[in-house]
Amino acid sequence: MADGGGAPPPPTAAQAAVMHRESRWLGQGYADITKLRELAAKHERLSSRNQQRAARISTKIEKIRHVAAVLREKSQAVLARIPDLESEIAQHDRDIKARNERTGGIVIGSDVTNLQYRIRKLQQKVVDLQHKSRTLEHRAAMKTQKTAELKVKVDRFLEMSRLEEQEAVTYRQRADRLQMATQGEVAARLTGTPEGLPPPPPPGLP
């Protein structure tokens, strides 16, 4: 008398072939999911790498901007010394005029020539300071131009990072959809009703 506790009959060759195909299909599905997640991780890594490059260049930009600001401050400090020199030149001119008026301009003494020499030295110093100030300004302008060029690189790296992140999101979404479909298929097979297939027709219908 059968009590229902016996071992199930071994699968037939056709059933074994179907089970093998299903197992292989599921295995391929999980392999595809793994590959998609690997590609997503790869694009995420590239995205963060581009962000890292952009951050480093941004730090360099701020450093160069600081140097440019220091150069401009030095340039202004150099120019600030010129008014005192010009005032001293004007004073020497007044002294020369006063001494020439005492002699009627006929005799030019050594005191006058000494003042004229001092004026020329001060004028040369003014020109030197102007040149130094302009040199500092030029260096500052070159630094500013460099920051503009680097800013273009930052924008390019950030754009590349954004595109890589979009690719990563796309691969993650594909992997999620495939995983949900595979899990649904597995659940349907475990319950005995293949997901996505219509129920069998009632007996007697073609």
Alpha carbon distance 80, 87 (integer Å): 12
46, 122, 150 from 51: Cα distances, Å: 9, 54, 14
Q: Are 92 and 125 in contact (CB under 8 A)?
A: no
Task: Express each pLDDT in 154-194 by its tens digit.
Answer: 999 999 999 999 999 999 998 888 888 777 666 666 565 44
19, 32, 178 from 183: Cα distances, Å: 17, 13, 8
Q: Are 195 and 185 in contact (CB under 8 A)?
A: yes
The residue ranking higher by pLDDT, 143 or 108, is: 143
200 SS3 class: coil
Q: Which of 18-22, 98-102, 133-137 has the lowest mean pLDDT?
A: 18-22
Q: Are 184 and 29 in contact (CB under 8 A)?
A: no
Closest CA to 154 of 47, 64, 56, 48: 56
**Which amino acid, one-letter code, is at 140?**
A
Task: Express each pLDDT in 27-70 by its tens digit.
Answer: 566 778 888 889 999 999 999 999 999 999 999 999 999 999 99
The residue ranking higher by pLDDT, 104 or 94, is: 94
Domain 18-190, CATH class in plain words? mainly alpha
The mean predicted confidence, pLDDT, of the chain is: 81
Burial of 28 (0-12, 13-18, 19+ CB in 10 A): exposed
What are the domain boundaries of the chain? 18-190
